[in-house]
A and B are shown apart, each in its own frame.
Chain A
Amino acid sequence: MTWPFNFGTATSPVAASHLDDMFNQCAAMDSLPCTATGTNAISLSPQANVPALTAYTELCGYRFRAVGTSSGLVTAQYNGLGYLNVYHSDGVTAVGTGDIVIGQQYCLRFSQALNSGVGGFFLEAPSMPAGGVTPWGTPGGRLSFYSTVPIYLSTITSPQVIYYVPYVHQWCPIYNGSNVQMYQFSSPISNQSGPYLSMGGAANFPAASMFDLFITLISGVPSLVAIQWTNTSTRATTLATLGGFLTNAGTATAQTGANTSMSLPQNQGTFLGSFYCPGGTPGASAWILTGSGSGGASPPVQAYLSNYYNAVQVSLHSTDTGAGYTYTSATPRAWRGSGNNALYFVQASSELAYSLTPYTQTNYVGVTGTYASIGYALNQTGSLPSAFNANTLLTNMSNSFPAIQLPATWVNNPPAGLVCLFGMEVSDGASANTFNPSSNQTLLGNVWL
């Protein structure tokens, strides 16, 4: 194909209009800067000093900056010419809701073959920053009280450091204020440990307080920080989904170590889980999954670290090895009246159900009309309960059902925060029924941690 006019071979004066034709020809080979109006029906006008072409030319482009985000099928026109449909690069899929974003620049390139020969535009989308299009996924580590073991099943009585240990991979999505990127929280790949939060027995982690754990960037380095709850059942800073993962919904003070803190901007902490500092010494937690003793595990079962991502089901059990005992009262109480006949643990959310099963035995006194029952109670304070939770009065031993006691499992979605599950008992108010005659009464729990 050649130019419509060749000045170099002219042998006589030529009309100046040929110059205009040549300039328009050049313009039609590029993309013309335009001003746009309209959101879904976009009208494009050539900007100053840009030729106003009077016909569409094959593959000529019309460049503009969107003044609205499309909310339906998009059509466009240039310089008062007819509106035509706008398509993605396949020439078939129409551009529709959300495909054009306010403030971003696009180019519509005409092609006569589109829309069965009626003509239409290809949409050329803008490039995106690399971080904005890089896919991200689930955080790859697990919170643990052991620096290099993501699932630790032995006792750590009073841990003062919480680690984020590589489990399925070493990456975690973090919103850095501009976009979401996957950050490597542990390297090189042979490294079995990750960032950690050291409480160090400090007062900024008070006794009997609940915290959420987040991973965020401190000087560009993925780091663990903690935001305190209002109490053991109420978050002071709620969680919000960003890009499919949970973050801090608002700016909040976050503890970065022993007596150090920072202001964590909104959404810039990726939620990982929760932990609890029990009563006693501040700046320490507890990880005791099993135990036994008269009145239940001593010290009591306390699993005070809960993972929101990559949680695994952990078995907790507390066995009362004390002597058998009688109880006559019709007022329910914890087994043996002991707060150690319980399972104490933390749940980062209420999404994963736990199951609870007793292993116990009750001997009724053998008199018609007497009875004794067992069941469960749940609270979030740790105070000794005096009532069963609804629908958990599991077994009613009486002279009609004298000695056959089946395990009865209670499956329930936990509340988020501190969860205190007690084995409960009650008698008929008169009879000296015997509990735990075999000294092996046990509370078994399967909990996601």
Chain B
Amino acid sequence: MAMIKNVQKLHETVAKVAPIDGVSGDGEIWFQKQATDKQKKAAVKAVEAFVDSEPDVRVPVIENVPLPAPKSIFEA
């Protein structure tokens, strides 16, 4: 299968049908212990049916945190 780029969207999709710890863009699924066989099959089908899209671009946001007063970076 083609490598899926938007793995967070994929995660959301698969998590709706089975309890998972994660998914990979190459289709691997890490199920939680309580996942049933039926849920696992549904998860595999969800991956196969997934329509990929470009992942959201998350722009880093530096919060307005006051800088500490200048001092040595080493302990005295």
Contacts and interface: CB of A to CB of B under 8 A. Distances in A.
Tell me if B's interface is mostly helix, strand, loop or mixed: loop
A323 B24 contact: yes
B15 A432 contact: yes
B30 interface: yes
B7 A402 contact: no
Tell me if A's interface is mostly helix, strand, loop or mixed: loop
B8 A326 contact: yes
Interface in A329-357: 329, 336-337
A324 B15 contact: no
Contacts of B63: 399-400
Interface in B47-76: 55-56, 58, 60-63, 65
Contacts of A366: 56, 58
A432 B8 contact: yes
A434 interface: yes
Nearest to B15: A432
B8 A322 contact: no
Interface residues of B, number: 27
A138 to B, nearest CB: 38
Contacts of B21: 327-329
Contact of A327 (B5, B30, B65): B30
A324 B26 CA distance: 8
Interface in B12-69: 12, 15, 20-26, 28, 30, 32, 55-56, 58, 60-63, 65
Contact of B26 (A323, A329, A437): A323
A323 B11 contact: no
B8 A337 contact: no
B22 A324 contact: no
A366 B7 CA distance: 14
A402 B22 contact: no
Contacts of B11: 326, 328, 432
A323 B7 contact: yes
A59 B4 CA distance: 99
Interface of B: 3-5, 7-8, 10-12, 15, 20-26, 28, 30, 32, 55-56, 58, 60-63, 65
Nearest 5 pairs of A and B residues by beta carbon: A323-B25, A325-B24, A403-B60, A327-B22, A432-B11
5 contacts: A324-B24, A326-B10, A327-B30, A365-B8, A404-B60
